[in-house]
Amino acid sequence: MKEIRSRPDLAINGAPPAFADTLHVGRPNVGSRETFMRLAGEMFDRQWFSNNGPLVQEFEHRIAAHLGVRHCVAMCNGTIALEIAIRALGLAGEVIVPSYTFVATAHALYWQGITPVFADIDPRTHNLDPDAVRRMITPRTSGIIGVHLWGRAAPVDALQGIADEHGLRLMFDSAHAFGCSYKGQTIGRFGACEVLSFHATKFFNTFEGGAVVTNDDELAEMMRLMRNFGFAGYDHVIHPGTNGKMIEVCAAMGLANLAHIDTVIDSNRKNYHAYRDALSGLPELSLMAYDEAERNNFQYIVLEVGEGCRATRDELVAALQAEGILARKYFWPGCHKMQPYRALYPHAGMVLHNTERVADSVVVLPTGTALPDGAIATILRIFQVLLSDAA
Ligand code: T4K
């Protein structure tokens, strides 16, 4: 890749660093600082910081109501939530997952001695391709984890059909999909359970946090046990467990943010439309479209660099970074090329053509409520300069 330096002729150059510093993928959205401070103050007054406190209970109640599901089991982060859901569902042997996802999806399995088996994606949706899933089923397969990547729903019905046909458990990694829908129904009710992440970089955050949502009473009860060392009451441990609890201060952040999610969605939608308009004149770069007939949180601005583009994906990322804009190559290079999977399955790429092509072409751009005015125009200008230099 040719060396790319900051350009003095770009508008962003010489601007106060504060401007560029806010242009990071993953800048947190903050709903109401005042509400958070009030709730945190009450928490100090109560001197109850963890272990199923009143804020966590209210948070769980509000999330379940918001999603229209019976249970929300709040956890300390999305990864532990995945691990507990996987264990509570009794998954074992092999579980089929996409490789094109954040590595936590695969690690949550491997960490528990389960083999993640990577199936290819549909290049149009970036989600699991049901035919590829079928091809990966073996006698050792116990389940499928679909990922609603970028908040766009996985092929829920097709995956459920495969799971039913083969007697497999189906769950979803819905880390990106809080507030999104599939065929008009809120994500959170599909499969045996769905796992949410409320990490700081997510559209809705609790600093760190996660949850499993489900309509299955027994499963919810089991996960509540597992996240608290298996304790039933003060003295009795009736199951193996871990520490997966959400703490009160995180629930306070969640409650303070939940009241403002419509504002965040409006802001993200506005940014998405502005990107779409700005980039429409650059046919070499295509912006991943959200289906506006569904509910979306628009948290990921996903750009695909076409094969005939005058600059490579890595050059585009480097050009942005040279101006202080931290765009990301999510989810490059695909889990199958990360350790330990790279060493375990050196030939996995042979059945993951779409995964590799998509992973090599995506750039994720900054959005969120903190995106400064003029940022999208600046990003467009950087692309225009780079592409015309390359012509
Ligand atoms: N499944 C899926 C599909 C996921 O995407 C994730 C997490 C999970 C499961 C697991 O859920 P958690 O256990 O995380 O709840 C970030 C996040 O850490 C991770 O939560 C997220 N997915 C992933 C997509 O993005 P990195 O490795 O990119 O993080 P990092 O430190 O590079 O930060 C990302 C950007 O955010 C940077 O540009 C800086 C900015 N940032 C970050 C933080 C924490 C801020 O501006 N402020 C902040 O407070 O993983």
Contact 76, 209 (CB under 8 A): yes
Q: What is the DSSP letter of 122?
A: -
Q: Which residue lies with its CA nearest to atom 30 of ligand 1? A: 26
Q: Taking CB atoms and a 6 Å cutoff, what residues make up the pocket around ligand 1?
A: 24-28, 77-79, 101-102, 104-105, 147, 173, 175-176, 197, 199-201, 210, 326, 330
User: What confidence score (pLDDT) does residue 36 get?
Assistant: 98
Is pLDDT of 2 > 80? no
For the CA of 27, the closest atom of ligand 1 is 46
| Mean pLDDT along residues 346-367 | 97
Q: Sign of torsion, CA 279 281 287 291?
A: positive
Q: Which residue lies with its CA nearest to atom 47 of ligand 1? A: 27
For the whole model, what pTM was predicted?
0.96
- pLDDT 10s digits, 286-324: 999 999 999 999 999 999 999 899 999 999 999 999 888
- pLDDT 10s digits, 211-230: 999 999 999 999 999 999 99
Q: Which residue lies with its CA nearest to atom 22 of ligand 1? A: 102
Q: Which residue lies with its CA nearest to atom 5 of ligand 1? A: 102
31: three-class secondary structure by DSSP: coil
Instruction: State the pLDDT confidence band at 4, using cuts at 50, 70 and 90.
Output: confident
Beta strands in 90-178 (DSSP E): 94-98, 115-119, 141-147, 169-173
Q: How far apart are CA 69 and CA 72, in angstroms?
A: 7
Multiple choice CATH, 33-258, 3.40.50.740, 1.10.10.10, 3.40.640.10, 3.40.50.300:
3.40.640.10
Q: Is the peptide bond before 340 cis (omega within 30 degrees of 0)?
A: yes
Q: How far apart are CA 320 and CA 365, in angstroms?
A: 9
Instruction: State the pLDDT confidence band at 362, using cuts at 50, 70 and 90.
Output: very high
CA 255 to chain centre: 20
Report the residue among 24, 84, 102 best suited for mutation to probe ligand 1: largest number of ligand atoms under 8 A from its CB: 102
- pLDDT 10s digits, 151-174: 999 999 999 999 999 999 999 999
- pLDDT 10s digits, 264-276: 999 999 999 999 9
User: Could you tell me the residue ranges of all domains in the chain?
Assistant: 33-258, 261-327+366-390
| Mean pLDDT along residues 174-193 | 98
Q: How far apart are CA 245 and CA 224, in angstroms?
A: 9
User: What confidence score (pLDDT) does residue 146 get?
Assistant: 98
Instruction: State the pLDDT confidence band at 14, using cuts at 50, 70 and 90.
Output: low
Compute the distance from residue 258 Cα to the ligand 1 centre, in Å. 19
The CATH code that applies to domain 261-327+366-390 is 3.90.1150.10
Report the residue among 201, 246, 365 best suited for mutation to probe ligand 1: largest number of ligand atoms under 8 A from its CB: 201
Instruction: State the pLDDT confidence band at 351, using cuts at 50, 70 and 90.
Output: very high
